[in-house]
């Protein structure tokens, strides 16, 4: 399978909500190995892949297993549609995922397949519930991911891949996410406060 298609599969199979629990790797080789592992699992669990060439576009569809935080199929399946053409970015649409009942769509780098922009409707009401965009370098490698979980104009999470750390917005400022054992949290007033799970994301608990 084409590498850029495999990378797009990675992001489709690994639910976008898992990004809130992830820390970017400081080593590109480790990140590539991580993606390769997900791609292999996604390919193994893919069903009914089809491809068609139409009017200058290549259209690919498939039935896919969603992967959980442990990178194993979590029992959910979704259907994906990808449209590609030489010289332009790739687009992808998905349906059937419990975390995006109204579907999700995204634009991906034409060569690397890395996500440039992703939007999703979590509850199926026809309105956007989340937005994600990425900053990539000249080779299409992701350097920064920013997520707005409510699509309300307030950014909620920033993942810095070059420096290997993440930040979460709380009240009126960004806080760096710290990892202590199995816990992830922030420093508030000199104390470590563990993040709480709220729906498909983690938040700083109200005090």
Tell me the per-residue pLDDT of 115-170, one tens digit each, with 9 for 90 and over. 899 999 988 999 999 999 999 999 999 999 999 988 999 999 999 988 989 999 99
Tell me the per-residue pLDDT of 21-71, one tens digit each, with 9 for 90 and over. 455 554 556 666 776 777 777 788 888 889 999 999 999 998 988 877 777
The pTM score is: 0.78
Q: For residue 96, is pLDDT > 70?
A: yes
Strand stretches in 85-164, DSSP E: 90-95, 104-108, 115-120, 130-136, 142-148, 157-160
> What are the residue ranges spanned by the domains of the chain?
3-164
Query: What's the full length of the chain, in residues?
Result: 207
Taking the C-alpha atoms of residue 83 and residue 186, their distance in angstroms, rounded to an integer, is 40
Are 186 and 169 contacting, i.e. CB atoms less than 8 angstroms apart?
A: no
Spatial neighbors of 33 by CB under 8 A, at least 6 apart, are none
* pLDDT at 126 (0 to 100): 93
Burial annotation 28-53 (CB, 10 A radius, 16+ → b, else e): eeebeeebeebbebbbebbeeeeeee
Q: For residue 112, is pLDDT > 90?
A: no
């Amino acid at each position: 399978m084409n590498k850029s298609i495999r990378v797009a599969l990675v992001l489709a199979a690994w639910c976008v909500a898992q990004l809130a629990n992830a820390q970017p790797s400081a080593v590109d080789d480790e990140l590539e190995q991580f993606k390769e592992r997900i791609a292999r699992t996604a390919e193994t669990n893919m069903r009914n892949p089809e491809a068609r060439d139409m009017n200058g576009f290549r259209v690919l569809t498939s039935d896919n297993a969603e992967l959980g935080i442990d990178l194993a199929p979590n029992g959910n399946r979704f259907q994906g549609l990808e449209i590609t053409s030489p010289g332009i970015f790739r687009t992808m649409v998905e349906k059937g995922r419990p975390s995006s009942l109204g579907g999700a769509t995204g634009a991906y780098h034409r060569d690397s397949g890395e996500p440039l922009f992703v939007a999703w409707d979590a509850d199926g009401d026809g309105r956007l519930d989340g937005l994600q965009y990425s900053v990539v370098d000249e080779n299409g490698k992701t350097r920064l991911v920013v997520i707005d979980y409510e699509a309300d104009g307030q950014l909620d999470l920033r993942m810095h891949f070059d420096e290997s750390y993440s930040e979460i917005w709380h009240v009126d400022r960004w806080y760096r996410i710290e990892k202590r054992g199995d816990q992830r949290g922030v420093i508030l007033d000199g104390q470590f406060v563990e993040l709480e799970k709220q729906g498909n994301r983690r938040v700083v608990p109200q005090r």
